[in-house]
Chain A
Amino acid sequence: MNIFRLAGDMTHLASVLVLLLKIHTIKSCAGVSLRTQELYAIVFATRYLDIFTSFVSVYNTFMKLVFLGSSFSIVWYMRYHKAVHRTYDREQDTFRHWFLVLPCLVLALLIHEKFTFLEVLWTFSLYLEAVAILPQLVLLQRTRNIDNLTGQYIFLLGGYRGLYILNWIYRYFTEPHFVHWITWIAGLVQTLLYADFFYYYFLRFIGGRGVE
């Protein structure tokens, strides 16, 4: 564990807590894409399949349970909780996210580190996470400006993988044989997809306006 990875995990945890705070306290999911949340639930379900078979640390298992529990409960809230579901913008959240799942699965079957069931699904979760934010970014463009909590959620979600990139650089130089091109490229693509969001997000900070 290094400070970049810890900062990344804490940023990721913060993004989840901000979203849960918004949905649970003000019972609103306005501006939040249910489709991105569904993709993230699939990402965690396929990435943490080894949660019961390979124990890394208490921290690792605890965080996996937090991410699994929060992603599925956010999907549940947005789909079935009456008050929250009413604030869901169904007409605008129309990105065909299932069209993202199949190509990621095919790519994972073609490009992976080991051809085993767990490894292919784990690789699939990396590819899917890289594009999982697309429905949210499309919804963002359609709803024009969003409330601060949603903006902070997206900012933190985009930042966590950027911190992981610093972690990979650190580990590459400090650990021999630490080379994982698939993880690195997927993480880089994922972070680059946030580029224009980060640009407008920082403009907001400078200008002090809402996120346009």
Chain B
Amino acid sequence: SSLSNSKDEL
């Protein structure tokens, strides 16, 4: 899902 790996960026 998008939460996993695009919300870990600033």
Contact = CB atoms under 8 A, between A and B. Distances in A.
B7 A56 contact: yes
A9 B10 contact: yes
Contacts of A171: 5
B6 to A, nearest CB: 5
Nearest to A122: B7
A67 B10 contact: yes
Interface string A100-131: 00000000000001100001001000000000
A180 B3 contact: no
Contacts, number: 30
Nearest to B8: A56
Interface of A: 5, 9, 12, 50, 54, 56-57, 60, 63-64, 67, 113-114, 119, 122, 164, 167, 171, 175, 177-178, 180, 183
15 contacts: A9-B10, A56-B7, A56-B8, A57-B8, A60-B8, A63-B10, A113-B2, A113-B6, A114-B2, A119-B2, A122-B7, A175-B5, A177-B5, A180-B6, A183-B6
The 7 closest A-B pairs by CB, nearest first: A113-B2, A180-B6, A56-B8, A63-B10, A178-B5, A9-B10, A183-B6
